[in-house]
Amino acid sequence: MKSALILGGTQFVGKRLVQLLLAEGVEVTIATRGKTPDSFGDQVSRVKISREDAESQQQAFQDKQWDVVFDQTCYSSQEALDTLKALEGKIQKYVFTSSQAVYDFGTNHREENFNALEFQPTIKNRSEYIGYVGYQEAKRAAEAILFHKSTVPVVAIRFPIIIGEDDFTNRLKFHVDHVNNGKAMFIDNPDLRYSFIDSEDAAKFLLSIANSDYQGAINPGSSIDISLRELVALIEELIKKRANLQSDGDPSPYNLPGSWSVDTSRAISLGYKFTPLNQLLHELIHYYNEFHH
């Protein structure tokens, strides 16, 4: 890979990915709305697009070529369709940031538990997908369009929950802070189980899968999942304070309608390595705890 287009790239995993690509000597173009400043200076090229405006992409990508596109900002079937059209003949590979949300609620989902080629997408805009169920349909539909209509190889990376010191969502930090401060929090169903991945592992995985000849769907991530009950118990143990769980407390940002976890054995069998979940959570809980003091 000599050149890459990143749709996104200014925060969290996208930012890490840009740094990895630059370190490999790849020519990087980032395509964003131009709202979030980045620290890459003249190391990258920039184009301004809106994912909700097909014409902006047609213009921005005109007369350009890249080896790979990393699509990190697609949240509707319409956007997948528009971007594919705008990049027709301009790329060799499409790496799509999908989500474990494409699976029905449940644990240890394998890649074949959702077949995008059998999903019939309805063409909708971003605003028409509401809540988690909407997010699930948006990612399913985007995958379906890419796998059906792309003329180049597509990889759909079904990321679990991404965590790291640079996690701007602060969803894990929420739990550590609440335990630290004795603040009441509400966990709807403590036995729901989730999978996680380290943000650094996520960026490295994006880079290596793009450099490989893999195509199709794949689940990266730490190999075991964890319940919210176990997560809170781990926080209590590490920071030596009791959680204050109340039905009228602040709702946990991990209150989802069901469990979502993935089986990562395909990625592991291909030689990919991910930080063990226990190690990852220990490090982050200590980091947020230090931050607190």
Q: How far is CA 135 from the centre of its chain?
A: 12
Residue with tokens 């979940």: 277
Sheet holding 260-262, edge to edge: 106-109, 260-262, 193-194, 226-227
Lookup: tokens for 116? 């995008």
Q: Give the residue from 119, 159, 126, 118 showing the smallest Cα distance to 141.
A: 119
- pTM higher than 0.85, yes or no? yes
pLDDT digits (tens, 9 = 90+) for 55-71: 999 999 999 999 999 99
Q: What is the mean pLDDT of residues 137-157?
A: 98
pLDDT in tens, 25-59: 999 999 999 888 899 999 999 999 999 999 999 99
Q: Please give the helix or strand (H or E) that residue 245 lies within, else none.
A: strand 244-245
pLDDT of residue 293: 66
- Which of the four pLDDT bands, split at 50, 70 and 90, describes residue 221? very high
pLDDT mean across residues, the chain: 96
Please say if the pLDDT value at position 234 is more than 90.
yes
CB-based burial of residue 185 (10 Å sphere; 0-12 exposed, 13-18 middle, 19+ buried)? buried
